[in-house]
Amino acid sequence: MTRRAYPSAPRPGVGALVLHKGAVLLVRRGKSPGRGLWALPGGKVKLGETLREAAEREIREETGIEIEAGEPLYVFDFIERDAESRVAYHYVIVDIRCEYRKGEPRPGDDADDARWVTESELSDLAVSQATLKLLELVRFGRI
């Protein structure tokens, strides 16, 4: 099993953009990196797993929601350095547009909380910068 902290190479990950009834599915991260921040649900891609399969599995594990993963939408690097400038975490994350199928959000796996969040609620939450940037791009039809 590959270490999460202080990896020897970047790790691939997925995030799922799931919109339903005017809200986006978000989770509050329960572990580092990003502990305490609200973000799109997602996680690591396992060996032999497609991006779509990883998104569907991770969202089910993290939120209990069933989705159908679609096409990649947004790609970014998440790099976190420690006090000595060593790379503590490095993920290359592919966010995927997903269709809601069924279920009610409940936190599981690495999430402390999971819920549908409306645009007006975003300013009251500590939302990750990458998630805010993606939601802004979607809002203005840039992607």
DSSP-derived letter for residue 110 is T
CA 61/CA 7 separation, integer angstroms: 23
Q: How far is CA 19 from CA 2, 31, 87, 88, 94, in A?
A: 32, 24, 33, 32, 17
* Contact yes or no for 141/102 (Cβ under 8 A): no
Please tell me the pTM assigned to this model: 0.91
Separation between Cα atoms, residue 105 and residue 116, nearest integer Å: 7
Q: Where are the domains of the chain?
A: 11-138
- Please state which of the four CATH numbers 3.80.10.10, 3.10.20.740, 3.90.79.10, 3.30.1330.10 is assigned to the domain occupying 11-138: 3.90.79.10
| pLDDT average, residue stretch 72-100 | 96
In this predicted structure, the answer to whether residue 87 has a pLDDT above a threshold of 50 is: yes
**In this structure, are residues 90 and 13 in contact, taking their beta carbons and an 8 Å threshold?**
no
Contact by Cβ (8 Å): 104, 38: no
Cα–Cα distance for residue pair 105/38, rounded to 1 Å: 14
Strands (E), the chain: 11-20, 23-29, 38-39, 42-44, 66-81, 87-102, 111-118
The tens digit of pLDDT for each residue in 93-104 reads 999 999 999 999
Q: Is 87 helix (H, G, I), strand (E, B) or coil?
A: strand
Reported as a single tens digit per residue, the pLDDT across 103-127 is 999 998 789 999 999 999 999 999 9
